[in-house]
Structure 1
């Protein structure tokens, strides 16, 4: 039996996926699997599942989830004639008794540690890191909401980024710059502000005799950092740049160089364990290995984007994402947060003044107005063809929307319904009822499932190749046997939602598609 947390929650027995139940039940299962073989106090389990705001009947509900998970584990163990995983009640709490190697998150951590050991065998280190990265199937704990799940995701992304950098540095030291040049540009599109990745890519280009491309790459990175953060490249990146300028032989840094990831990293396909690593092309704003400027950056060296509309989009995005970071993301994390200071210089005085005014006002409290700004920013990114940025910003907007309607649904849901409907339209979601009726349903999260199901669709970044009717999808979902009408995104079952969309596609378009992923745009 295998437990998969690096993507949507899965339990597989004999290679067959099992029904892991509702998102709430999946949180219980994930909370136990993350600490496999370690007891978790029932109070800690309740906090992980309900974010320190449990219902009055939290314990009975938790016991019911544990009972269903136990039954699932017993049923899957029966054909094999023995129990491979079980939940035990101990004095210190509940524990999932399973070999940690059967949990992909634990295997990932072990392989990363193996790849960072000071052992002399660089080949073994590179292979271990590639195998670790190959375990990823998407966003960790995908589809699960809450502060604990967000904290685990953030920790996983930090470890993953470190592993990618270490893998690239190890490949470079092994004299395989071509592998780095092949894989890293796609990875930098997913982590666009991680300078150590850019360092190894520039070094690899220089080592491969492509120094002009390496210099051009540095210029594109410098412009991107200035545009997105108002910051200059760090010391490590500047040192690599000077090395290329002088024509000195490249000196790969030691694995584990300090990372400076900023922003919200998105999921990406890691290098597979096979050689050389292959990374799925999911970039909407590609930065080519030849050093082309990132989308949204000036095309000429030192050029300035004087478009006021682009300035407004960038400034709105900075203000909105800063507020989301402070009001939604940081409460789910531990440790201190360091706010980067902008240093725009004299390059764009108008944009600098506007940014400084936004900063002086400080982080804004969560509000429907702020959520609308995020939705509008995502819409602007879509118009510019920046699909990756659009999806990431929509996910931030949906996260804030969910927080707002949990706090005050009557006040916050109705004004956001039009923005949500537009976001659904860009994702390929249509409707067959009157627009005012649909807006009324989207504005009522207490009595209808439309907000919860819409959050589930948008938060997963789904974009459909052919339009689907939201009202038909909801009808299909609610008429699925044993499925309850959800009022919270955590209660939306991914398997039921996918089946509801598939059925709608067959009904509306007469397709013979059998796999949900075939309906999604790449």
Structure 2
């Protein structure tokens, strides 16, 4: 999958066919041993321009791929690969580790496990990076292939940064100097590469070269982006000048970031479900774990039952609105309230005032960005601002140790977020993703990808399961003692037999999500915990 699509068996390279046939095979390989719906295959292969009879053309490609796999398995000794038709779609039944893409993922996950020794981690990350032979699915057309390329390019950058950090901690700067210059030339705007290379150069007594690299990257950023180096790189530059370089850091929370603007996201909507028959859609369970809800009935209007009436606030009643400056204002009295004053207001008053004007506006509002008459720049709508105010209130409560209040505010914020992305996901989701990421972080959900990739995933409720699963994680009110990677949780969820990739909160099964979190934690920390309650903060 890295570079051009290739199929090898018993040391022989087999012809994989036309680009369209390669795209069909790739669409099955990325979900090896998981069913892929026919509609999803058609979307991945043809985007929004399918042929006149796409199913017939797809069946023809599948037939030829089956013959190709039969030839491959006849050459291999005991290795099997076949395509099966199931009610939920087509499944490529093959060991995922036989695909370089999946092997790369596994090695990076093992190399990211901080419970393992640095020597083992460095070796696994280096093995993963050696698998890279070029951009994934090189030469394959379409928006889906481009999205796969973007995602895995970012995973590669993050893996390189982790590997270099570990090698520096192990005292191997020469190894970093051997590898990083070529990658820094390939990705000239990735500042963590320059930071690590400067560290390695300084550690080998080549401080002058380190200073030269800083000058070069500063000029490059100014010429191409009109900006200065980030604070970490600037601080390192000062340290090199002073000869007081701090020790190499532990694994950075912030991953490598390629600041090249990503390509526009595809617009067509694929089928909402990947199964032939619609699964049971349980209602989202309340906050607070398995035994009892943590949100009292009066925690806020959105936390009450569906029979509660939402009465629009009159002009005389004070309403709390968030302004772009982050302050809260009582609209009726025009009296500004600082954050310190907001802490003194009972939680129920804040949430009720915020939410009472939120849901009716959200349900009746379709146009989310409004243009100011005086200029052409988009301004954030009050509806989105109210959702952000709820997330901000939850963060305030959490900082004060008012955990139940924070959970109640989060529930209301998530439900409003759900209403907004149902109305217009392309516009509303990106505006609220930063607040969603903060809420997940407070819940103990970790991220093994860069912020840019994470924002792309969470802003795509139509194309990815990340928004739905993230919302359910927050609605459950779980607060993990030790963080678990979000992409691992999603992968575990989707690999569960008989499960359809969710696109809405109602599609997410809490029992499967609970098992996915448990598995993600056990895999990361080498434990064998069987009860999720043991992983949660009291």
TM, length-normalised to structure 1: 0.50
Of the two, which has the highest radius of gyration?
Answer: 2
TM, length-normalised to structure 2: 0.48
